Amino acid sequence: MFRFRRLIPLAAALPVTQTVLCDYRFQHGSAIIPHPKKCKRGSEDALFAKKHSLGIFDGVSSWMDDGIDAGIFAHNLCHFTSQQIKSKPLPAAVFAALMQTSVPGSATVCVVDISKDDGILNTFNLGESGFLLLRRTTRKSSNWRIFKYFQSQEEQNAEFHVFAKSTPMMHDDEDNCPFQLGSLDAPTQDCIGDAQTQQIQTQAGDILILATDGLFDNLSESEIVDFVAEFDMGSNIASQKQLAWLLAYKARQAYQKVDDISVIVAKIVDSPGVQRGPILPRQGLSH
């Protein structure tokens, strides 16, 4: 005689754990406005912008005294860095790219990448190009008592502020000579180890601006922050490109120092990925 015996579900014995995977990435746009006297041969600046990495390079113009266009060096270093960064940490990627760059010249370098799992921003900066990381902070309105019939105490105002940034790196003993990476015959031999490196915890909604000194020499930090605050980026990916061009043109109009102007604007976004947990057996009956 057979009888049915109910199985105890294995799920009752196993803790159910799920991990939500995130995908932090950049929504980006860029702009380059060449120096008026360099339009025929193009800008000495170069940049790349990808889903998880950004880079900007400024060729050192003093090479033209020897008839060498440093923009060619900057574009080569940019190209090879964008390839190497796929598989190497930032310093190693830039070093490998430098070893591949065989043309004469030198350039300042600012490169960043973001970890898609936890949003950690890794930065590498050498020279007078750099980055600003802007974040919205919320605060309770100071006028909530006056307008309590129109807004609640919990209503908040959002403002941008500089959460993190790079610092320009210049040689003190020379006139307007930034730290730079160059070919073997470069007069200034700075190295990978001289670069500033940071690890910064980002969050969705942060705005990252990478730019050459053409932006930072013509617009103050507060002017950049105020301009970004006035620009409603929303969720439109194309707005990053629009803001990059507007910042570049604003620097061009100011022009306290005439130069190439290159800007990358990136909004940090994330999205939940697949939820992973233990595979549970089906519940059933046995006899």
* 162: helix, strand or coil: strand
> Which CATH number does the domain housing residue 83 bear?
3.60.40.10
Direct distance between the N- and C-terminal alpha carbons of the chain, in angstroms, rounded to an integer? 11
Question: In the predicted model, what is the mean pLDDT of the chain?
Answer: 85
**pLDDT confidence of residue 172:** 82
For residue 105, is it left (φ>0), alpha (ψ between -120 and 50) or beta?
left
The whole domain housing 160 covers 27-277
Residue 23 token pair: 């995908």
Residue 138 carries which DSSP code?
E
Q: Per-residue pLDDT averaged across 246-265, rounded? A: 95
**pLDDT confidence of residue 22:** 84
Query: What is the distance between the alpha carbons of residues 32 and 218, in angstroms, rounded to a whole number?
Result: 15
Residue 258 carries which DSSP code?
-
**pLDDT confidence of residue 286:** 45
Instruction: List pLDDT tens digits, range 229-254.
Output: 998 776 676 799 999 999 999 999 99
7 occurs within a structural domain: no
12 occurs within a structural domain: no
Query: What is the distance between the alpha carbons of residues 98 and 207, in angstroms, rounded to a whole number?
Result: 29
5 occurs within a structural domain: no
116 occurs within a structural domain: yes
Residue 283 token pair: 């519940």
**pLDDT confidence of residue 71:** 96
Q: Per-residue pLDDT averaged across 190-216, rounded? A: 97
Q: Are 142 and 156 in contact (CB under 8 A)?
A: no
Structural domains of the chain, count: 1
94 occurs within a structural domain: yes
149 occurs within a structural domain: yes
Inform me whether the pLDDT recorded for 109 exceeds 60: yes
3 occurs within a structural domain: no
**pLDDT confidence of residue 146:** 45
17 occurs within a structural domain: no
Kindly give, in sequence order, each residue whose CB lies less than 8 Å from that of residue 79, ignoring residues fewer than 6 positions away.
46, 48, 97
Query: What is the distance between the alpha carbons of residues 241 and 125, in angstroms, rounded to a whole number?
Result: 23
